[in-house]
Amino acid sequence: MNFSIAWQKLNQIGQDLMAALPNMVFEIVVLVLFVVLARGVRAGVRRVTSKKERLGSGLALQQFHYRALDNEIALQSQAPA
């Protein structure tokens, strides 16, 4: 039996895998970053909503809107004329 063709195919698969390895590592790093970011956002939302839970969830969103609006007004007032 001649195994040279099978060996060539296996060798080519190994080379292709090694060529794709840097891309896979980069993709895994990006995935981990997004998972960490998502957990941070989730924790922040839970913290804001749990503080405002007694008063209603609409109040938490309203307070967030007012803070964003206050920041926008403050930034506009600091802009050079």
Three-state SS string across the chain, please? CCCHHHHHHHHHHHHHHHHHHHHHHHHHHHHHHHHHHHHHHHHHHHHHHHHHCCCCHHHHHHHHHHHHHHHHHHHHHHCCC
Look at residue 52 and give its three-state secondary structure.
helix
Considering its fold, how many domains does the chain have in total?
1
Q: pLDDT under 70 in the chain at which residues?
A: 51-81
Q: Does the reported pTM lie above 0.85?
A: no
pLDDT value of position 79: 57
* pLDDT confidence of residue 58: 61
- The range of the structural domain enclosing residue 44 comes to 4-78
Q: What is the pLDDT of residue 59?
A: 60
pLDDT computed for residue 64 by the predictor: 67
**Residues in the chain, overall count:** 81
